[in-house]
Amino acid sequence: MTDTINAAAGNPYLQGNYGPVAEEVTAFDLPVVGEIPAELAGRYLRNGPNPMSEVDQSTHHWFIGDGMVHGVRLLGGKAEWYRNRYVGSTSVSQRRGQPDIPGRNWNDNPGGPNTNVGGFAGTTWAMVEAGGCPVELTYELETVGRNDFFGTLPGAYTAHPKVDADTGEMHAVVYALPQWLDHVQYVVVGTDGRVRRTVDVPVNDGPMVHDMSLTQKYAIVYDMPVTLNIEMAMEGRFPFAWNPGHGSRLGFLPREGEAVDIVWVDVPISYVFHPMNAYDQADGSVVIDLCVYDTMFENDLRGPFGDNFARFERWVVNPVTRTCSTTVIDSSWVEFPRHRGSLPASPTATATAPAPACSPAGRRSSSTCTPARSRCSIMAPAAAPVSRSSSAARAAPMRTTAGWSRSCTTCRKARPNWSSSTRRTSPARQWRACCCRSASPTASTATG
Ligand SMILES: [Fe+2]
Protein backbone atom coordinates (compact mmCIF):
# COMPACT_ATOMS: atom_id res chain seq x y z
CA MET A 1 0.00 0.00 0.00
CA THR A 2 2.88 2.30 0.72
CA ASP A 3 4.17 1.63 -2.74
CA THR A 4 0.79 2.55 -4.14
CA ILE A 5 0.75 5.88 -2.38
CA ASN A 6 4.37 6.64 -3.10
CA ALA A 7 3.70 5.98 -6.76
CA ALA A 8 1.20 8.83 -6.86
CA ALA A 9 2.58 12.06 -8.22
CA GLY A 10 2.84 14.73 -5.54
CA ASN A 11 1.22 14.50 -2.18
CA PRO A 12 -1.99 12.41 -2.21
CA TYR A 13 -3.42 14.41 0.67
CA LEU A 14 -3.44 17.52 -1.49
CA GLN A 15 -5.20 15.99 -4.48
CA GLY A 16 -8.70 15.09 -5.56
CA ASN A 17 -11.18 15.03 -2.73
CA TYR A 18 -8.33 15.92 -0.40
CA GLY A 19 -7.42 19.04 -2.34
CA PRO A 20 -7.80 22.37 -0.54
CA VAL A 21 -10.84 24.49 -1.32
CA ALA A 22 -9.83 27.96 -2.36
CA GLU A 23 -13.06 29.90 -1.90
CA GLU A 24 -15.44 30.60 0.93
CA VAL A 25 -18.96 30.13 -0.40
CA THR A 26 -22.46 30.96 0.79
CA ALA A 27 -25.39 29.39 -1.03
CA PHE A 28 -29.11 29.28 -0.24
CA ASP A 29 -31.98 26.95 -1.12
CA LEU A 30 -29.79 24.16 -2.39
CA PRO A 31 -31.13 21.71 -4.95
CA VAL A 32 -31.91 18.33 -3.37
CA VAL A 33 -31.36 15.06 -5.17
CA GLY A 34 -33.65 12.50 -3.60
CA GLU A 35 -35.31 13.35 -0.30
CA ILE A 36 -34.09 14.80 2.99
CA PRO A 37 -36.04 13.33 5.92
CA ALA A 38 -38.37 16.07 7.12
CA GLU A 39 -37.55 15.33 10.77
CA LEU A 40 -33.94 16.40 10.30
CA ALA A 41 -33.60 19.90 11.70
CA GLY A 42 -30.22 21.42 12.33
CA ARG A 43 -26.81 21.67 10.75
CA TYR A 44 -24.54 19.02 9.34
CA LEU A 45 -21.05 20.31 9.98
CA ARG A 46 -17.55 19.11 9.28
CA ASN A 47 -14.07 20.47 9.78
CA GLY A 48 -10.81 19.56 8.11
CA PRO A 49 -7.35 20.84 7.20
CA ASN A 50 -7.41 23.12 4.19
CA PRO A 51 -4.02 24.81 3.70
CA MET A 52 -4.54 28.45 2.80
CA SER A 53 -1.14 28.85 1.12
CA GLU A 54 1.40 26.70 -0.70
CA VAL A 55 2.97 23.85 1.25
CA ASP A 56 5.90 21.52 0.62
CA GLN A 57 4.33 18.56 -1.16
CA SER A 58 7.15 16.24 -0.16
CA THR A 59 6.70 16.69 3.57
CA HIS A 60 3.14 17.98 3.99
CA HIS A 61 1.09 15.95 6.46
CA TRP A 62 -2.68 15.68 6.13
CA PHE A 63 -3.17 16.71 9.76
CA ILE A 64 -1.45 20.05 9.22
CA GLY A 65 -3.12 23.03 7.69
CA ASP A 66 -5.63 25.77 8.32
CA GLY A 67 -9.04 24.52 9.39
CA MET A 68 -12.06 24.95 7.19
CA VAL A 69 -15.59 24.27 8.40
CA HIS A 70 -18.33 23.27 6.00
CA GLY A 71 -21.99 23.24 6.94
CA VAL A 72 -25.43 22.54 5.54
CA ARG A 73 -28.51 23.80 7.35
CA LEU A 74 -31.41 21.33 7.12
CA LEU A 75 -35.04 22.08 7.95
CA GLY A 76 -38.36 20.65 6.82
CA GLY A 77 -36.84 18.49 4.12
CA LYS A 78 -34.93 21.41 2.63
CA ALA A 79 -31.27 22.34 2.55
CA GLU A 80 -31.60 25.97 3.53
CA TRP A 81 -27.97 26.93 3.14
CA TYR A 82 -24.40 25.81 2.63
CA ARG A 83 -21.40 27.69 3.95
CA ASN A 84 -17.70 27.02 4.17
CA ARG A 85 -15.40 29.21 6.25
CA TYR A 86 -11.82 29.15 7.39
CA VAL A 87 -11.56 28.69 11.14
CA GLY A 88 -9.98 31.83 12.51
CA SER A 89 -6.41 31.69 13.79
CA THR A 90 -3.29 33.82 14.13
CA SER A 91 -1.88 32.51 10.86
CA VAL A 92 -5.12 33.02 8.91
CA SER A 93 -5.35 36.58 10.24
CA GLN A 94 -1.74 37.25 9.26
CA ARG A 95 -2.32 36.05 5.71
CA ARG A 96 -5.39 38.24 5.47
CA GLY A 97 -3.56 41.24 6.91
CA GLN A 98 -5.98 41.43 9.78
CA PRO A 99 -5.58 41.66 13.57
CA ASP A 100 -5.38 38.37 15.42
CA ILE A 101 -8.67 36.83 16.48
CA PRO A 102 -9.70 37.55 20.09
CA GLY A 103 -9.35 35.12 22.96
CA ARG A 104 -6.53 33.79 25.15
CA ASN A 105 -3.94 31.77 23.26
CA TRP A 106 -2.38 29.84 26.15
CA ASN A 107 0.53 28.37 24.16
CA ASP A 108 0.78 31.01 21.42
CA ASN A 109 -0.29 28.45 18.85
CA PRO A 110 -0.44 30.18 15.44
CA GLY A 111 -2.76 27.56 13.96
CA GLY A 112 -6.47 27.08 14.42
CA PRO A 113 -8.61 24.00 15.08
CA ASN A 114 -8.76 21.90 11.92
CA THR A 115 -10.13 18.57 13.07
CA ASN A 116 -13.65 18.61 14.46
CA VAL A 117 -16.63 20.87 15.00
CA GLY A 118 -19.70 20.46 17.13
CA GLY A 119 -22.27 22.05 19.37
CA PHE A 120 -22.16 22.09 23.16
CA ALA A 121 -23.59 24.39 25.83
CA GLY A 122 -25.33 26.47 23.19
CA THR A 123 -22.06 27.22 21.37
CA THR A 124 -20.44 25.92 18.21
CA TRP A 125 -16.84 24.85 18.79
CA ALA A 126 -14.08 24.09 16.29
CA MET A 127 -11.62 21.74 17.97
CA VAL A 128 -8.18 20.23 17.59
CA GLU A 129 -5.81 18.11 19.63
CA ALA A 130 -2.20 18.67 20.75
CA GLY A 131 -2.65 22.02 22.44
CA GLY A 132 -4.70 24.40 20.36
CA CYS A 133 -7.52 26.29 22.03
CA PRO A 134 -11.08 25.65 20.78
CA VAL A 135 -12.47 28.39 18.58
CA GLU A 136 -16.05 29.55 18.95
CA LEU A 137 -18.09 29.94 15.77
CA THR A 138 -21.41 31.60 15.11
CA TYR A 139 -24.34 29.54 13.91
CA GLU A 140 -23.39 30.68 10.42
CA LEU A 141 -19.78 29.46 10.94
CA GLU A 142 -18.08 32.83 11.28
CA THR A 143 -15.23 32.92 13.81
CA VAL A 144 -16.02 34.61 17.12
CA GLY A 145 -12.63 33.92 18.72
CA ARG A 146 -10.75 31.45 20.85
CA ASN A 147 -12.86 30.19 23.70
CA ASP A 148 -11.14 28.28 26.51
CA PHE A 149 -14.51 27.34 27.96
CA PHE A 150 -15.01 30.84 29.24
CA GLY A 151 -11.62 31.07 30.94
CA THR A 152 -11.75 27.72 32.71
CA LEU A 153 -9.59 25.47 30.51
CA PRO A 154 -6.04 25.23 31.90
CA GLY A 155 -4.38 24.38 28.59
CA ALA A 156 -5.00 21.92 25.82
CA TYR A 157 -8.18 20.40 24.46
CA THR A 158 -9.09 17.63 22.05
CA ALA A 159 -10.94 17.10 18.79
CA HIS A 160 -12.90 14.19 20.21
CA PRO A 161 -14.75 14.93 23.41
CA LYS A 162 -17.54 12.61 24.54
CA VAL A 163 -20.85 13.95 25.82
CA ASP A 164 -22.52 11.84 28.51
CA ALA A 165 -26.17 11.65 27.57
CA ASP A 166 -27.18 11.11 31.20
CA THR A 167 -25.42 14.11 32.72
CA GLY A 168 -24.94 16.34 29.69
CA GLU A 169 -21.28 16.82 30.66
CA MET A 170 -18.50 16.68 28.08
CA HIS A 171 -15.42 14.53 28.74
CA ALA A 172 -12.03 14.61 27.04
CA VAL A 173 -8.49 13.30 27.27
CA VAL A 174 -6.12 15.99 26.04
CA TYR A 175 -2.42 16.50 25.42
CA ALA A 176 -0.14 19.34 24.41
CA LEU A 177 3.14 19.38 22.59
CA PRO A 178 5.70 20.58 23.34
CA GLN A 179 4.26 21.93 26.57
CA TRP A 180 3.22 18.64 28.19
CA LEU A 181 5.63 15.80 27.49
CA ASP A 182 5.04 13.86 30.70
CA HIS A 183 1.29 13.76 31.09
CA VAL A 184 -2.09 13.92 29.46
CA GLN A 185 -5.09 15.50 31.10
CA TYR A 186 -8.64 14.32 31.69
CA VAL A 187 -11.04 17.26 31.37
CA VAL A 188 -14.72 17.39 32.28
CA VAL A 189 -16.76 20.34 31.05
CA GLY A 190 -20.08 20.97 32.79
CA THR A 191 -23.36 21.68 31.07
CA ASP A 192 -22.70 25.39 31.57
CA GLY A 193 -19.68 25.14 29.26
CA ARG A 194 -17.16 25.58 32.09
CA VAL A 195 -14.47 23.11 33.12
CA ARG A 196 -15.57 21.30 36.28
CA ARG A 197 -12.69 18.91 36.78
CA THR A 198 -9.21 18.03 35.52
CA VAL A 199 -6.88 15.14 36.33
CA ASP A 200 -3.26 14.97 35.13
CA VAL A 201 -2.31 11.42 34.10
CA PRO A 202 1.45 10.69 33.82
CA VAL A 203 2.65 9.15 30.53
CA ASN A 204 6.00 8.75 28.77
CA ASP A 205 7.35 9.75 25.36
CA GLY A 206 4.65 12.29 24.43
CA PRO A 207 2.04 9.94 22.92
CA MET A 208 -0.43 11.09 20.30
CA VAL A 209 -3.81 10.60 21.99
CA HIS A 210 -6.40 11.32 19.35
CA ASP A 211 -9.54 10.13 21.09
CA MET A 212 -10.88 8.54 24.28
CA SER A 213 -13.69 6.27 25.38
CA LEU A 214 -16.27 6.88 28.06
CA THR A 215 -18.30 4.33 29.99
CA GLN A 216 -20.52 4.66 33.03
CA LYS A 217 -17.48 3.84 35.20
CA TYR A 218 -14.41 4.96 33.30
CA ALA A 219 -12.69 7.54 31.20
CA ILE A 220 -10.37 5.46 29.03
CA VAL A 221 -6.95 6.78 28.00
CA TYR A 222 -5.36 5.48 24.76
CA ASP A 223 -1.59 5.37 25.35
CA MET A 224 -0.44 3.77 22.10
CA PRO A 225 2.81 3.63 20.15
CA VAL A 226 2.69 6.83 18.11
CA THR A 227 4.85 9.30 20.00
CA LEU A 228 6.81 12.50 19.67
CA ASN A 229 9.78 12.22 17.32
CA ILE A 230 12.29 14.89 18.23
CA GLU A 231 14.14 14.75 14.92
CA MET A 232 10.96 15.29 12.91
CA ALA A 233 9.92 18.09 15.22
CA MET A 234 13.31 19.79 14.81
CA GLU A 235 12.89 19.58 11.05
CA GLY A 236 9.55 21.35 11.33
CA ARG A 237 7.66 18.30 10.17
CA PHE A 238 4.62 16.63 11.64
CA PRO A 239 6.24 15.44 14.86
CA PHE A 240 4.70 12.02 15.53
CA ALA A 241 5.92 8.61 14.36
CA TRP A 242 5.53 4.90 15.02
CA ASN A 243 7.35 3.86 18.18
CA PRO A 244 6.50 0.25 19.08
CA GLY A 245 9.00 0.32 21.93
CA HIS A 246 6.61 2.66 23.72
CA GLY A 247 4.19 -0.21 24.25
CA SER A 248 0.44 -0.09 23.90
CA ARG A 249 -2.01 0.20 26.75
CA LEU A 250 -5.37 1.55 27.80
CA GLY A 251 -5.81 3.42 31.04
CA PHE A 252 -9.05 2.99 32.97
CA LEU A 253 -9.53 6.11 35.07
CA PRO A 254 -12.58 6.04 37.35
CA ARG A 255 -14.63 9.03 36.31
CA GLU A 256 -14.39 10.68 39.70
CA GLY A 257 -11.02 9.12 40.57
CA GLU A 258 -7.53 10.58 40.71
CA ALA A 259 -4.42 9.71 38.73
CA VAL A 260 -3.33 7.08 41.27
CA ASP A 261 -6.59 5.23 40.66
CA ILE A 262 -5.95 4.59 36.97
CA VAL A 263 -5.55 0.94 35.93
CA TRP A 264 -3.42 0.27 32.87
CA VAL A 265 -4.02 -2.79 30.71
CA ASP A 266 -1.66 -3.84 27.91
CA VAL A 267 -3.34 -4.21 24.52
CA PRO A 268 -1.96 -5.31 21.14
CA ILE A 269 0.75 -3.17 19.59
CA SER A 270 -1.39 -1.18 17.16
CA TYR A 271 -2.90 2.26 16.78
CA VAL A 272 -6.44 3.56 17.16
CA PHE A 273 -7.61 6.97 16.07
CA HIS A 274 -11.29 6.35 16.62
CA PRO A 275 -13.10 4.06 19.01
CA MET A 276 -16.77 3.85 18.16
CA ASN A 277 -18.40 2.84 21.43
CA ALA A 278 -17.58 1.47 24.86
CA TYR A 279 -19.62 0.13 27.73
CA ASP A 280 -19.23 -1.69 31.04
CA GLN A 281 -20.23 -5.29 31.57
CA ALA A 282 -21.42 -6.95 34.77
CA ASP A 283 -18.18 -8.92 35.19
CA GLY A 284 -16.16 -5.72 35.38
CA SER A 285 -14.89 -5.86 31.82
CA VAL A 286 -15.38 -3.15 29.23
CA VAL A 287 -16.42 -3.72 25.63
CA ILE A 288 -14.81 -1.37 23.14
CA ASP A 289 -15.59 -1.34 19.42
CA LEU A 290 -12.89 0.46 17.47
CA CYS A 291 -10.95 0.86 14.22
CA VAL A 292 -7.50 -0.69 14.55
CA TYR A 293 -4.36 -0.10 12.47
CA ASP A 294 -1.45 -2.54 12.58
CA THR A 295 0.96 0.38 12.50
CA MET A 296 0.74 4.15 12.09
CA PHE A 297 3.23 6.65 10.67
CA GLU A 298 5.84 3.91 10.35
CA ASN A 299 6.86 4.45 6.71
CA ASP A 300 4.57 7.02 5.14
CA LEU A 301 4.79 10.23 7.14
CA ARG A 302 2.28 12.25 5.13
CA GLY A 303 -0.92 10.77 6.53
CA PRO A 304 -2.58 7.72 8.06
CA PHE A 305 -3.42 5.61 5.02
CA GLY A 306 0.02 5.02 3.54
CA ASP A 307 1.02 1.98 5.55
CA ASN A 308 -2.30 0.20 6.14
CA PHE A 309 -5.98 0.76 6.66
CA ALA A 310 -7.97 0.09 9.80
CA ARG A 311 -10.27 -2.85 10.37
CA PHE A 312 -13.16 -2.95 12.81
CA GLU A 313 -12.53 -4.89 16.01
CA ARG A 314 -14.14 -5.55 19.35
CA TRP A 315 -11.86 -5.47 22.35
CA VAL A 316 -13.05 -6.80 25.69
CA VAL A 317 -10.72 -5.33 28.29
CA ASN A 318 -10.93 -6.21 31.95
CA PRO A 319 -9.27 -3.69 34.28
CA VAL A 320 -9.77 -6.12 37.19
CA THR A 321 -7.90 -9.06 35.67
CA ARG A 322 -5.88 -6.76 33.36
CA THR A 323 -6.63 -8.87 30.32
CA CYS A 324 -7.65 -7.97 26.79
CA SER A 325 -9.25 -10.17 24.15
CA THR A 326 -9.73 -8.95 20.62
CA THR A 327 -12.01 -10.07 17.80
CA VAL A 328 -12.15 -8.85 14.24
CA ILE A 329 -15.71 -7.77 13.49
CA ASP A 330 -15.11 -6.62 9.95
CA SER A 331 -11.81 -6.83 8.09
CA SER A 332 -12.96 -4.30 5.48
CA TRP A 333 -11.26 -0.93 5.54
CA VAL A 334 -13.24 1.32 7.80
CA GLU A 335 -12.76 4.62 9.58
CA PHE A 336 -14.68 7.43 11.24
CA PRO A 337 -17.07 5.10 13.09
CA ARG A 338 -20.06 6.75 14.62
CA HIS A 339 -22.22 5.36 17.36
CA ARG A 340 -25.73 6.73 17.64
CA GLY A 341 -25.08 9.82 19.70
CA SER A 342 -28.01 9.47 22.04
CA LEU A 343 -26.81 6.14 23.36
CA PRO A 344 -23.24 6.50 24.60
CA ALA A 345 -21.82 4.05 27.10
CA SER A 346 -24.41 1.40 26.30
CA PRO A 347 -24.38 -1.61 23.95
CA THR A 348 -24.16 -0.66 20.32
CA ALA A 349 -27.51 -0.61 18.55
CA THR A 350 -26.86 1.39 15.43
CA ALA A 351 -23.63 2.70 14.05
CA THR A 352 -21.84 3.83 10.94
CA ALA A 353 -18.32 3.00 9.89
CA PRO A 354 -17.76 3.99 6.29
CA ALA A 355 -14.84 2.78 4.26
CA PRO A 356 -12.23 5.39 3.37
CA ALA A 357 -13.37 5.16 -0.22
CA CYS A 358 -11.68 8.39 -1.16
CA SER A 359 -8.35 7.22 0.19
CA PRO A 360 -5.32 8.81 -1.41
CA ALA A 361 -4.24 5.41 -2.61
CA GLY A 362 -7.41 5.20 -4.68
CA ARG A 363 -8.19 1.81 -3.24
CA ARG A 364 -11.48 0.03 -3.47
CA SER A 365 -14.59 1.10 -1.65
CA SER A 366 -16.89 -1.21 0.21
CA SER A 367 -19.47 1.34 1.22
CA THR A 368 -20.44 4.95 0.94
CA CYS A 369 -17.62 7.44 0.53
CA THR A 370 -16.84 9.56 3.52
CA PRO A 371 -16.01 13.21 2.86
CA ALA A 372 -12.30 12.91 2.38
CA ARG A 373 -11.16 16.39 3.28
CA SER A 374 -12.87 16.21 6.60
CA ARG A 375 -10.75 14.43 9.12
CA CYS A 376 -13.53 14.17 11.63
CA SER A 377 -17.05 15.47 11.85
CA ILE A 378 -19.86 15.38 14.31
CA MET A 379 -23.52 16.19 14.03
CA ALA A 380 -24.50 19.37 15.75
CA PRO A 381 -27.40 19.07 18.20
CA ALA A 382 -30.95 18.94 16.88
CA ALA A 383 -30.03 16.81 13.91
CA ALA A 384 -29.89 13.06 14.34
CA PRO A 385 -27.26 11.03 12.48
CA VAL A 386 -28.47 8.79 9.72
CA SER A 387 -27.33 5.19 9.85
CA ARG A 388 -25.89 3.90 6.60
CA SER A 389 -24.76 0.54 7.83
CA SER A 390 -24.65 -1.49 10.99
CA SER A 391 -21.20 -2.98 11.20
CA ALA A 392 -21.80 -4.37 14.66
CA ALA A 393 -24.86 -6.23 13.42
CA ARG A 394 -22.57 -8.10 11.05
CA ALA A 395 -20.27 -9.16 13.85
CA ALA A 396 -19.15 -12.72 13.37
CA PRO A 397 -17.20 -14.66 15.97
CA MET A 398 -13.65 -15.25 14.81
CA ARG A 399 -11.13 -17.75 15.94
CA THR A 400 -9.12 -16.57 18.90
CA THR A 401 -6.03 -18.11 20.35
CA ALA A 402 -4.31 -17.79 23.67
CA GLY A 403 -1.39 -15.53 24.38
CA TRP A 404 0.02 -13.53 21.49
CA SER A 405 -0.54 -16.23 18.91
CA ARG A 406 -2.52 -15.04 15.90
CA SER A 407 -4.10 -16.81 12.99
CA CYS A 408 -4.80 -15.42 9.56
CA THR A 409 -8.47 -14.64 9.13
CA THR A 410 -8.33 -15.34 5.42
CA CYS A 411 -6.33 -18.54 5.06
CA ARG A 412 -6.74 -19.62 8.71
CA LYS A 413 -3.13 -20.64 8.98
CA ALA A 414 -1.64 -20.15 12.39
CA ARG A 415 1.00 -17.49 12.79
CA PRO A 416 4.03 -17.93 14.99
CA ASN A 417 3.85 -17.09 18.64
CA TRP A 418 5.78 -13.91 19.16
CA SER A 419 7.73 -12.89 22.14
CA SER A 420 6.86 -9.51 23.53
CA SER A 421 10.07 -8.01 22.17
CA THR A 422 9.51 -9.44 18.70
CA ARG A 423 5.89 -8.34 18.67
CA ARG A 424 6.87 -4.83 19.59
CA THR A 425 9.28 -4.66 16.69
CA SER A 426 6.91 -4.97 13.78
CA PRO A 427 3.81 -7.13 14.00
CA ALA A 428 2.52 -5.72 10.74
CA ARG A 429 5.47 -7.11 8.86
CA GLN A 430 4.77 -10.53 10.30
CA TRP A 431 1.13 -10.34 9.28
CA ARG A 432 2.14 -9.38 5.79
CA ALA A 433 4.41 -12.43 5.74
CA CYS A 434 1.41 -14.76 5.58
CA CYS A 435 0.97 -16.61 2.31
CA CYS A 436 -2.29 -14.78 1.61
CA ARG A 437 -0.87 -11.44 2.82
CA SER A 438 -3.99 -10.80 4.83
CA ALA A 439 -3.83 -7.90 7.20
CA SER A 440 -6.79 -9.01 9.25
CA PRO A 441 -5.63 -10.91 12.27
CA THR A 442 -7.69 -11.87 15.24
CA ALA A 443 -6.16 -12.43 18.59
CA SER A 444 -6.65 -12.84 22.24
CA THR A 445 -4.20 -11.40 24.68
CA ALA A 446 -3.60 -11.94 28.34
CA THR A 447 -1.41 -9.75 30.47
CA GLY A 448 -0.45 -9.99 34.06
FE1 LIG B 1 -10.59 12.04 14.50
pLDDT (tens digit, 9 = 90+) per residue, 361-410?
A: 443 333 322 334 444 433 332 222 222 222 322 222 222 222 222 333 33
Question: Which residues sit opposite 286 in a β-bridge?
Answer: 280, 317
**Same domain for 240 and 263?**
yes
**Same domain for 173 and 47?**
yes
**Rounded to the nearest whole angstrom, what is the distance from the C-alpha of residue 374 to the centroid of ligand 1?**
9
Separation between Cα atoms, residue 147 and residue 135, nearest integer Å: 5
Domain boundary among 169, 202, 235: 202
Domain boundary among 202, 233, 261: 202
Separation between Cα atoms, residue 420 and residue 415, nearest integer Å: 15
Say if residue 215's pLDDT is above 80.
Answer: yes
**Rounded to the nearest whole angstrom, what is the distance from the C-alpha of residue 159 to the centroid of ligand 1?**
7
**Same domain for 279 and 170?**
no
Model pTM score: 0.79
Separation between Cα atoms, residue 15 and residue 9, nearest integer Å: 9
**Rounded to the nearest whole angstrom, what is the distance from the C-alpha of residue 62 to the centroid of ligand 1?**
12
pLDDT at 17: 87
Angle (nearest 5°) at CA 128 between 123 and 133: 65
**Rounded to the nearest whole angstrom, what is the distance from the C-alpha of residue 418 to the centroid of ligand 1?**
31
Q: What is the pLDDT of residues 337-366, one digit of tens each?
A: 987 654 556 676 555 665 554 454 443 333
**Same domain for 171 and 236?**
no
Domain boundary among 187, 202, 217: 202
**Burial class of residue 46 (count of CB atoms within 10 Å of its CB; 0-12, 13-18, 19+):** buried
Q: What is the pLDDT of residues 27-63, one digit of tens each?
A: 999 999 999 999 999 999 999 999 999 999 999 999 9
Residue span of the structural domain in which 8 resides: 1-202
Question: Which residues sit opposite 26 in a β-bridge?
Answer: 83
Q: Total domain count for the chain?
A: 2
**Same domain for 225 and 124?**
no
**Same domain for 177 and 289?**
no
**Same domain for 435 and 307?**
yes
**Same domain for 323 and 195?**
no
**Rounded to the nearest whole angstrom, what is the distance from the C-alpha of residue 414 to the centroid of ligand 1?**
33
**Same domain for 182 and 230?**
no
**Same domain for 176 and 210?**
no
